[in-house]
Structure formats: C-alpha cells, structure tokens
C-alpha cells in the first residue's frame, strides 16, 4: 500500500501537512506549510502508482515523473501555479506547487444552478482568455505540454479575479513520434475528454485534446450542464444539446466557437488555442464561415450566422419575390 501522510507529517524535512484539499485515484493533494518559509502555504500533490505493475514499467513511470516535474518546475505563467519542488518518499512521488486560494469554477456553476441563473457570458469569456493564454503557453513550449484534464474543477478563481489552471495530474510531454507515457493512470474526466484520448498513452493525443476539453468546460460554464460523454455522442451526435437551447443569452458566435472546439474528430477543431480564442471573441470569423467539415453538432438544423454570399443570395431572392408579386398584382388590376 502506498505511503499516506497524516495530519502534522513533515515531508522532505520541510512541508508540514495540514489537511487534504483534493483526492482522486492517483492519491491526494494536501495543503501544507513550508517550514523553511514561515507563512507560505503550498499544495503538495501525491502521485501513487499501481503496485501490481511490473517493476520495469513502474520504474519507467517514476523516471517519467521526474522528467515531467523538472519541466513543470521551469514554467512561469500568471495563470499557472508555480511548481517549486518535487521529491520521492518510499513508493510515492510528490509535486509541490503554490497553493491557490479561492473557489473552483465547478463551485461557481453549482451556485448559479442553485440560484436558477447562468454565469454571465462576458465573465466567462474573461476567464476563457486567461485559460487560453495559459494553454497557449503550455502548448508553445519547446517540448509542448498537453494538460489532458481541463475541466471547471481544475480551474480556480482567486480573490483578485485571476483564474489559474491548478492540476497537472495527466500532463503529457509531446516527444518526437508521440511515444510518451503519462505520470498517472487514467484518461481524464469522461465528460470533457475527446474520443482520441481513450486510446491510451500510446495514442495520438496533441493540443487539440485540450481544445476539446476547453470547449466542454465553456459549455458547462455557460449552460450549467456538462457536455454529453463523447462516446455517447459518437453513437448519436444529436445527444449534444445546442448551448443556446439551454441558455438563450449565449451569443451565436460563442455557441459556434464552442461547438467547433467540441468536434468529434481533432482535424475538425481549431488547429490551436489562439484560433479558438479568436473565434470565441469574434476577432476572426472567416474560419467558422468557411468550415467545410462541420462538427457533429452541426448536422441538424440550428441558427447560424449568414455568410456574405448567403446574405446576397437571400437579398436577391427577396427582390425577385417582390417583383413577381408586383407583376401578379398588375395583371389582376
């Protein structure tokens, strides 16, 4: 059985455990005090492994953890917690990050749902800009980093209004040939996970997997309803309810961008986070108007913005209809 620190335990002769603030199949996340820097709180993430794994696989997993932790410790972005330390004890590895105060976005969704209201689109877009900037930073590293578990409960809103992507649980470093190993077992949270991520660690998973989860997160934030599990959508695309059918206050532009991000096939999604943010904010609509391969959600009737060509055709049809009616009236006089 993996080592389990208890209240008051001092890890690595430095981090005194105060309480559990998160828990999952990988282990726990603890709130701890840094005894070397009085008053500094930090989050200590425990990474446990399946004890039934063959020794060589277990060794490979732990070596991968050390490589990934080294990379994470070099990251510096205002919307990401700073990884300050990592270490091992017995059969368990630990990652030490800044403690981020505030509520996670899943709690804000629950409050809005309880009050029978929706989060404001302008507020959600502001958060999306910050999350998008953090993801673009991760994906833009020399060795791109894919988070693989974007979801409301992994995003915290700090008292200052800054949002931070707080959990690196399924982080994946993209190596040449895409042959990599994640530090944990699992494929992310089902309702936000794209189809290609179910293929296992050897599957082709790139930054577009984060874009899918990002789109699913925004869908949830704006509708109070999580997106349909991608496997159910694969069997029946119509199971995904249009965001504006749930919350009419969502702008058509934002709905289109979210559905684009939620395309089942990665090639049908925005090619990068910047492109998605441009579509979301209206900075660039050309790609949405010129989509030749619509995501599954577009397969049935819905309201969409008319392209300039569509508008001209509609105007021409209207003129011809008016002339026809006018000629009919003249003949009947």
Annotated catalytic residues are 149
Residues in CB range of 239: below 8 A, 6 or more apart: 228, 232, 233
What is the rounded CA–CA span in Å between residue 173 and residue 143? 6
- Cβ atoms of residues 47 and 65 within 8 Å: yes
Counting runs of H as helices and runs of E as strands, what totals does the chain give?
10, 11
For the beta sheet containing 163-165, the strands, ordered from the edge strand earlier in sequence to the opposite edge, are 103-104, 155-157, 163-165
Question: How far is the C-alpha of 291 from the C-alpha of 260, rounded, in Å?
Answer: 9
Structure token digits, residue 32 = 């701890």
Q: Quote the CA–CA distance of 30 and 310 in Å, as a whole number.
A: 56
C-alpha angle 226-230-233 in degrees, rounded to nearest 5: 100
């Amino acid at each position: 059985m993996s080592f389990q620190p208890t209240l008051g335990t001092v890890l690595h002769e430095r981090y005194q455990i105060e309480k559990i603030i998160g828990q999952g199949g990988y282990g726990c996340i603890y709130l701890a005090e840094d005894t070397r820097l009085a008053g500094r709180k930090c989050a200590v993430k425990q990474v446990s492994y399946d004890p039934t794994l063959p020794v060589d696989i277990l060794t490979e997993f732990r070596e991968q953890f050390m490589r990934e932790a080294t990379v994470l410790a070099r990251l510096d972005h205002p919307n990401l917690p700073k990884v300050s330390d990592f270490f091992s004890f017995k059969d368990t590895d630990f990652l030490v990050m800044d403690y981020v105060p505030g509520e996670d976005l899943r709690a804000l969704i629950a409050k809005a749902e309880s009050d029978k209201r929706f989060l404001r689109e302008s507020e959600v877009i502001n958060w999306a800009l910050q999350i998008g900037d953090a993801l673009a930073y991760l994906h833009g590293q020399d060795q791109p980093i894919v988070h693989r578990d974007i979801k409301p409960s992994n995003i915290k809103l700090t008292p200052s209004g800054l949002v931070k992507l707080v959990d690196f649980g399924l982080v994946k470093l993209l190596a040449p040939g895409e042959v990599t190993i994640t530090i944990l077992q699992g494929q992310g949270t089902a309702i936000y996970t794209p189809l290609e991520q179910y293929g296992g660690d050897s599957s082709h998973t790139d930054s577009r997997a984060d874009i899918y989860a990002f789109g699913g997160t925004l869908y949830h934030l704006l509708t109070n309803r999580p997106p349909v599990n991608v496997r159910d959508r694969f069997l029946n695309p119509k199971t995904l309810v249009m965001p504006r059918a749930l919350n009419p206050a969502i702008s058509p532009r934002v709905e289109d961008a979210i559905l684009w991000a939620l395309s089942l096939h990665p090639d049908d999604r925005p090619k990068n986070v910047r492109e998605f943010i441009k579509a979301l904010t209206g900075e660039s609509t050309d790609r949405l108007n010129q989509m030749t391969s619509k995501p599954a959600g577009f397969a049935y009737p819905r309201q969409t913005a008319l392209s300039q060509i569509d508008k001209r055709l509609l105007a021409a049809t209207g003129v011809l209809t008016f002339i026809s009616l006018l000629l009919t009236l003249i003949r009947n006089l």
